[in-house]
A and B are shown apart, each in its own frame.
Chain A
Amino acid sequence: MTTKTIQEIEAEIVDEFSLFDSWDDKYEYIIDLGKRLPPLDEVFKKEENKVKGCQSTVWLVADYQDGKIIYKAESDAIIVKGLISMLIRVLSGHTPDEILNADMDFINKIGMTSHLAQTRSNGLRAMVKQMKHYALAFKSLRFNA
């Protein structure tokens, strides 16, 4: 289980990206992340797990273990998979409150929002929103329990 805070992981990613000279390199790195993202079990690839607002298909599921949320996700497009992999690296393994408070500013800092066309960066935002939705749901579950 991770011991780093969300901010620390975000800073790590920003650091890593600062090493790249060009977007070619950034994309190769993201694609590589995408290729290495473990596949999601086929049983989870159903309509209700799809993230709306993405051009490609994205499935996202979340598990609640010991007060922390574990995300799993996949997409049929590799670059999106790479982006998902980064989101999971940042948010997975944290408490609902930590996730809800995350500003996710690393996405801007690595230049992703300005580089991706509006439609695709909307998809990225939709994924973050869905992840936070899960956090909210688990939080209220905990309160009600």
Chain B
Amino acid sequence: MSNETMIAATGENQVLDIEKIRNDFPVLQRMVKGHPLVYLDNAATSQKPAAVIDALVHYYTHLNANVHRGIHTLAEEATAAFEATRDVVRSFINAAQREEIIYTKGTTEGLNLVAYTWGRKHLREGDEVIISGMEHHSNIVPWQVVCEEKNAVLKVIPITDKGELDMEVFHQLLSERTKIVSVVHVSNALGTINPVKAIIDAAHAKGAVVLIDGAQSSMHLDIDVQDLDCDFFALSAHKMLGPTGAGILYGKSSLLEEMPVFLGGGEMIKEVTFEKTTYNELPYKFEAGTPNIADFVAFKPAIEYINKLGKEKIRAHEDALLSYATEKIKETEGVKIIGEAEQKASVLSFVIDGVHPQDIGILLDNKGIAVRTGHHCAEPLMSRFCIPGTIRASFAVYNTLAEIDLFAEALKKAIKILR
């Protein structure tokens, strides 16, 4: 380990007590295949602190009722708990109003919602949609569907060898025909932090709106949607210590107001007759049906947990883990890191000469080490680098340098056996 990273890492450890943090995450205490679990698959989903698990149990034990419809005590308490999360999210991403916080089941639904409502309303033949070459399938497929339907054109910002967006080409792609730019904030497969502020400003100058896929960024970066001035921002609770099945779509109220509805049903209506239905106001217009109440209630302690630690400290610790792991992995013979952007967040993706990622994944799992192998739902990106997939280690605040040592050691042994 270089002196610099050691100081950074131990320096941070004095601020954040990682051992104490680890004790807040029950699953980290478990054994896998006879070894203590080393969980390095945080980009897929993060683990949950006891506060989140307790909130779920508490909700079903004491509050369970349907929201927004009963006048009885439970219904009121459940509604209050459910709505309290909206305020916490609003301040977490610094949205101007709570009505701009739409509950979804995750990033995927948020992205689909914008494509199918905003996209269907605004895209015309010959219009252009810009995405990037490092998008998750969930930010590719909905746009392909809508573009095909509307005879609009999907343009893709290419990726450089380092794994960064080719901004020069982006500026060339951008034109008066561009109606929306939908790009990922932090790449789940490469870790690249994209210059979204510059993208948003340039797109706005051409009159296009911008949707940011914040699935990976919301846990690691400070998110201020007003400062970014993005038009939409989508995130998933489960990637930020919260429950699965809960997510947020932020949208500027001026845009959300005039967008057609997504799903029809209960909750999203004001008045229904067979002749005509009028819709509920924001955010309920986009929240048809009984929502995932318990998981939204339990999302609040997740955000509070992040706030308590402080994103800056989380980020510093993760950066130390990333640079330590990067150094370690680079020492390993035959390793090629995929994604060497200047700005990266806690994802280390790599391939090994002559070794299939799946073999590494199986042998690491045999040592209790969880990594992701495969294409990471970004097949076009893998094609760009001419590889079928990578081995990805992704870090969170509860990971330690000692775990990275275990990972690097196990990796070396695995390669030796496989060669």
Question: Is B418 in contact with A78, judged by CB distance below 8 angstroms?
Answer: yes
- Report A1-48 residues with CB < 8 Å from chain B CB: 23-24, 27-28, 31
- Is A120 interfacial (CB-CB < 8 Å)? yes
Closest 5 CB pairs of A and B: A77-B356, A77-B358, A56-B358, A79-B359, A78-B359
Task: Report chain A residues within 8 Å CB of B373.
Answer: 55
How many A-B residue contacts, CB cutoff 8 Å? 36
Question: Is B33 in contact with A23, judged by CB distance below 8 angstroms?
Answer: yes
CB-based nearest A residue for B374: A55
Task: List 4 other contacts, CB 8 Å, given A78-B359, A115-B33.
Answer: A77-B356, A78-B356, A79-B363, A120-B362
Known contacts A56-B358, A79-B358; is-contact A27 B363 (Cβ 8 Å): yes
Residue A56 contacts which of B33, B356, B418 (CB distance < 8 angstroms)?
A: B356
Question: Is A117 in contact with B358, judged by CB distance below 8 angstroms?
Answer: no
- Is B403 interfacial (CB-CB < 8 Å)? no
Task: Report chain B residues within 8 Å CB of A78.
Answer: 355-356, 359, 418
Task: Report chain A residues within 8 Å CB of B33.
Answer: 23, 115
Question: Is A77 in contact with B359, judged by CB distance below 8 angstroms?
Answer: yes
CA distance A78 to B355 in the complex (A): 8
- Report A78-130 residues with CB < 8 Å from chain B CB: 78-80, 115-117, 120
Tell me which of A28, A79, A120 has the highest count of chain B C-beta atoms within 10 A of its own C-beta: A79
A119 to chain B, nearest CB (A): 9
Report 14 cross-chain contacts, Cβ distance below 8 Å, ordered by A residue: A23-B33, A23-B366, A24-B366, A27-B362, A27-B363, A55-B358, A55-B374, A78-B359, A79-B359, A79-B362, A80-B358, A115-B33, A117-B365, A120-B362
Q: How many B residues are at the interface, by size bracket?
A: 10 to 19
B418 to chain A, nearest CB (A): 6
CA distance A24 to B417 in the complex (A): 10
Known contacts A55-B374, A56-B356, A76-B356; is-contact A116 B362 (Cβ 8 Å): yes
Task: Report chain B residues within 8 Å CB of A77.
Answer: 356, 358-359
Q: How many A residues, CB 8 Å from partner?
A: 17
CA distance A78 to B373 in the complex (A): 15
Question: Is A27 in contact with B356, judged by CB distance below 8 angstroms?
Answer: no
A17 to chain B, nearest CB (A): 15
Task: Report chain B residues within 8 Å CB of A79.
Answer: 358-359, 362-363
CB-based nearest B residue for A116: B362
Question: Is A31 in contact with B358, judged by CB distance below 8 angstroms?
Answer: no
Question: Is A27 in contact with B366, judged by CB distance below 8 angstroms?
Answer: yes
- Report B362-383 residues with CB < 8 Å from chain A CB: 362-363, 365-366, 373-374
CA distance A57 to B387 in the complex (A): 13
Task: Report chain A residues within 8 Å CB of B366.
Answer: 23-24, 27
CA distance A56 to B356 in the complex (A): 8
Task: Report chain B residues within 8 Å CB of A23.
Answer: 33, 366
CA distance A31 to B366 in the complex (A): 14
CB-based nearest B residue for A117: B365
CA distance A120 to B361 in the complex (A): 11
CB-based nearest B residue for A78: B359
B374 to chain A, nearest CB (A): 6
Task: Report chain B residues within 8 Å CB of A57.
Answer: 388
Known contacts A23-B366, A117-B365, A120-B362; is-contact A31 B356 (Cβ 8 Å): no
A3 to chain B, nearest CB (A): 34
Task: Report chain A residues within 8 Å CB of B374.
Answer: 55
CA distance A23 to B355 in the complex (A): 20
CA distance A28 to B366 in the complex (A): 12
A63 to chain B, nearest CB (A): 27
Question: Is A31 in contact with B418, judged by CB distance below 8 angstroms?
Answer: yes
CA distance A28 to B362 in the complex (A): 12
CB-based nearest A residue for B366: A23
